[in-house]
Amino acid sequence: MHLPKYVTSQESDHIFMSNEAVLSKKASFLNLGLVPDLLNSLKKQQFTIPTPIQEKAIPVAISEKDIIGIAQTGTGKTMAFGLPMMQRIAKTNGQGLILLPTRELAMQVDESLLKIGRTLGLKTAILVGGASMSMQRQRIYSHPHIIIGTPGRIIDHLQRRNLNLSKVNTLVLDEADRMLDMGFAPQIKEILETVPTNRQTMLFSATMPGRIVAIAAKYMKSPIRIEVAQAGTAAENVDQELFVVNPHQKRLLVSKLLKQYKGTVLIFTRTKFGASKLCRFLITSGFNASEIHSNKSFAQRQAALNLFKQGRSRILVATDVASRGIDVSSIELVINYDLPDDPEDYVHRIGRTGRAGKGGRAISFAMSDQKYKVVQIERLIRNSISISKTPELEQSIQPAFNSFRPIQARTNTSFQGRGRSNFQGQRRGRQQTDGQGSRRFPKRNGGQFNYGLGW
């Protein structure tokens, strides 16, 4: 990558404080110490005013200090670490490494960096699971300036000796809290011990659990903590609302809301099975919906995400794991069809709306026995969520819930005689139940057929 002139930040334009964020006098990329070529690329992309996290983090990162950045999703974290990383690589001829939790987020970060760096000759390599190892090996051998990948696939390439991290002088852990939640701690530790110790490390997260503090203490050098908002704080421009419902009301209510809100809608479910089931229901109800979860291949997930970004699919049903990387600035509504198991996921979920300074809305469904989950969320975000009265719901959709009703047991549970005529066709082709939904099959016992244990 060729950046002909390196310009250091002007100390007269910044106030440097020990272990504090750097605050510029005027919110402009011109005052952050970026080189002219990067400024020109930003101008071409119509980026003129930095977000708060960019304004505070970029000057510190350019000074090559370690950073812990706390900011909600959608606040411009990618450019906050991406611009200083590109500038340092051009200056030192080193290499950058970005670790993140999902393939979708890797694609998003790569797209954002190339918007600015492509005209400057920036080369990147995406190393994620579900893609061809040989194709990724070719990208590695092309000597990319920045490697973007998930911890598991990075380890795969290291073990196969495809990847050498000895030139890495800038390391970024993006969405660090989510990577730890997904069980990547051993892989992250191995990577941190593999890269050179003489490096700059930047860690960005929306929340600050104790495990992240432990990583910072062990692997970072006097990091400067930059908080745009307190850890766990939800986006201020997102209106939050809660409905207390029973399971059978969920589909009725989501249908009503989708008729009320005409913009793009992102719906979160707790499981991939639930996402598929809800998406099928929405499609059969006449809504334009697609789904994204770990049961889908990488190509299928990218296709669904592109349809959603392009507006060809108004509704996207997603799980928490697959949702990382959904960067659509115009999402009108986020629906928590199921409350998350981890309260911190709530912050990430509702951060998908209200992005780029726009307003947004988040509606959550909770059942009467989930009060403790709501309390945990409210403690984390340090705010109460308004509870709305459940509206009257049309019962015309009620037949869709027949699948939830237990299968009734047949009253006749034995068949006399050995002849097929006495079976009335029930021995073949029909499964019997015990009234609890367990399948039972008739077993022959002498001259009588009784229901024995099934599978």
Mean pLDDT, residues 413-440 taken together: 44
Q: Is the pLDDT of residue 427 over 90?
A: no
Q: State both tokens at 189.
A: 């530790």
- pLDDT score, position 33: 92
In 3D, which of 99, 189, 76 has the Cα closest to residue 150?
99
Lowest-confidence pick of 85-89, 175-179, 266-270: 175-179
Which domains are assigned to the chain? Answer: 11-227 (3.40.50.300), 238-404 (3.40.50.300), 414-452 (no CATH)
How far is CA 241 from each of CA 179, 259, 264, 306, rounded to the nearest angstrom?
28, 17, 18, 28
Residue of 196, 22, 4, 15 lying closest to 95 (CA atoms):
196
Q: Cα(174)–Cα(432) distance, rounded to whole angstroms? A: 52
What pLDDT score does 230 carry?
59
pLDDT at 170 over 90: yes
DSSP-H helix ranges across 195-271: 210-219, 249-260
Quick one: pLDDT band at residue 213, thresholds 50, 70, 90? confident
pLDDT tens for 50-82 read 988 999 999 999 999 999 998 776 678 899 999
Count other Cβ atoms within 10 Å, centred on residue 9.
Answer: 19
Q: What is the DSSP string of 318-359?
A: E-HHHHTT---TTEEEEEESS--SSHHHHHHHHTTSS-TT--
pLDDT tier for residue 229 given thresholds of 50, 70 and 90: low
12 vs 418 pLDDT, higher one: 418
Read off the pLDDT band of 298 (50, 70, 90).
Answer: confident
The pLDDT tens digits for 111-147 are 999 999 998 999 999 999 888 999 999 999 999 999 9
With residues binned 3-state (H G I as helix, E B as strand, rest as coil), the percentages for the chain, rounded to 5, are 40, 20, 40
Q: What is the mean pLDDT of residues 275-289?
A: 94
| 3-class secondary-structure state, position 97 | strand
Query: Would you say residue 428 has pLDDT above 70?
Result: no
Q: Could you tell me if 364 and 385 are in contact, meaning their C-beta atoms sit under 8 angstroms apart? A: yes
pLDDT digits (tens, 9 = 90+) for 368-380: 999 999 999 998 8
> Quick check: 148 pLDDT over 90?
yes
Report the pLDDT value the prediction gives residue 357, as an integer from 0 to 100. Answer: 65
Lowest-pLDDT range of 50-54, 83-87, 420-424 = 420-424
Average pLDDT on 17-46 reads 73
Q: Which two tokens stand for residue 260?
A: 């009320």
Per-residue confidence (pLDDT) for residue 350, from 0 to 100: 87
pLDDT for the residue numbered 245? 94
Asked if residue 263 lies in contact with residue 293, where contact means CB atoms within 8 angstroms, the answer is no
Between the alpha carbon of residue 384 and those of residues 242, 366, 378, 388, the distances in Å are 10, 14, 5, 13
Q: How far apart are CA 124 and CA 97, in angstroms?
A: 10
Q: How confident is the model at residue 177 (pLDDT cuts 50, 70, 90)?
A: confident
Q: Which amino acid is at 366?
A: A
